[in-house]
Amino acid sequence: MNPNTFNEPMNKCFIYGKSGYSSKWENQVSAPDMEIADYRQEGNIRHFYLVAEPIKHNILSNLTIEALGYNKTTPGPLIIMKQGEWIYLTVENRMEHPTSLHVHGLSKPNSQDGAPDIEPTTPRIEPGKSYTYKFLCWQAGTFFYHSPEAFQVAQGLIGAFIVLPRDEYISPYLIPHHDYVLLIQQWEIPQPELGKVFPGTYKPNKFDRNPNFFTINGKSFPDTSPIYFRLGEKIRIRFITKTSQSHSMHLHGHDFRVVSINGFPRPGFWDDTIDVASGRRVDVELIANNPGIWPLNGTKTFHQSNNGESPGGMITKIVYVK
């Protein structure tokens, strides 16, 4: 598509001073197949409650995994904050082993960083116990939360975390019509052989060296829910992953501008395929200007399958509606 059709300003940094813009933007945020976390508001504080526990989760209608999750799901619920707010994030451990929680990419005091194996000031959350992390969300951007215990992450303890800009840094032109959050995971699930899906309930290998299933927001194609566009809308898509492999993502029928990487604004270079490496977050924006039903998919061939059965894995649909 012609990049010149993208004619709305995207990197304004003027101070506008209007109230309510961040709340309007928050209403545009969605994550297909993923829950949005409930919270309690107390002045400038949002208080969230996460329970880390063993769960059973369907990545396909006929395939269930015995995983770890937050609030009965993997990925955990999407946490939305506004820049300048404090978060009180309580984590309860209902697992058999200790855990903690780290918000990746957002700087915070050492005692709230959540890596107790290295940071002596950070508490470990023992089974049956809970802890409340408290820190300022000073930076707008795309982040994620996860257990610092690597093999707990591979079994599902991860979730998306975004911080929307302050009102004074937002103009109406910056607010997308839709702001989609897509979190990519991979799983090494026991199967008798490659080439087809064997239905049932399985426990993924925590070492995750040879993944054979790939999910977007906890689902593999064809069970991924579509993303909906309307002609002329401005769309933001946030890609997140912490998998041990990188994932290149491609949107058919559209070019996009990369506007943020790891929470830091970028000049907005044009592209149609991006590489999302482990720990990275890439935000892209586009104008919905080419009606139809289009794939959004990982480009690595095996990643487009379920244990080698294609199509599957890291694919979802873009569907234009009137």
Q: What is the DSSP letter of 205?
A: P
> What pLDDT is recorded for position 267?
83
What b/e string do you get for 237-263 counting C-beta neighbours within 10 Å, with b at 16 or more? bbbbbbbeeebebebebbbbbbbbbeb
Measure the CA–CA gap between 67 and 76, rounded to whole angstroms: 12
pLDDT at 1 over 70: no
Q: How far apart are CA 20 and CA 96, in angstroms?
A: 44
What's the angle, vertex CA 24, arms to CA 21 and CA 29, rounded to 5? 125
Enter the pTM of the model: 0.93
Confidence of residue 29 (pLDDT cuts 50, 70, 90): very high
* Residue 83 confidence (pLDDT) above 60: yes
pLDDT over 90, % of the chain: 91
236 touches 303 (CB < 8 A): no
Helix (H) or strand (E) holding 24: helix 21-28
The pLDDT assigned to 4 comes to: 32
Give the residue with greater pLDDT, 149 vs 18: 149
Average pLDDT of the chain, as a whole number? 93
CA atoms within 13 A on the CB side of 123: 13
Split at pLDDT 50, 70, 90, the class of 268 is confident
The CATH architecture to which 3-172 belongs is: Sandwich (2.60)
Give the closest residue to 78 by CA, choosing from 185, 170, 158, 184: 158
3-state helix, strand, coil in the chain (%, to 5): 10, 45, 45
Amino acid occupying residue 183: L
- For 214-228, write each residue's pLDDT tens digit: 999 999 999 999 999
Contact at 8 Å (CB) between 203 and 266? Answer: no
Domain limits, the chain: 3-172, 178-320
Q: Are 278 and 246 in contact (CB under 8 A)?
A: yes
Mean pLDDT of 259-283: 95
Domains 3-172 and 178-320 share a fold: yes
Q: What does 212-232 look like in DSSP terms, one character per residue?
A: -EEEETTB-BTSSPPEEE-TT
Q: Look at residue 3 and tell me whether its pLDDT is greater than 70.
A: no
The proportion of the chain whose per-residue pLDDT surpasses 70, expressed as a percent, equals: 94
CATH number of this structure's domain 178-320 = 2.60.40.420
Contact 230, 322 (CB under 8 A): yes
pLDDT tens, position by position, 43-75: 999 999 999 999 999 999 999 999 999 999 999
pLDDT digits (tens, 9 = 90+) for 102-119: 999 999 999 999 999 999
Q: Is the model's pLDDT at 257 over the cut of 50? A: yes
Q: Find all residues with CB under 8 Å of 208, minimum gap 6, and list them.
A: 154, 186, 187, 188, 243, 244
Q: Which of 30, 38, 69, 12 is nearest to 178 (CA)?
A: 30
Mean pLDDT along residues 92-104: 98
| The pLDDT value given to residue 114 | 96
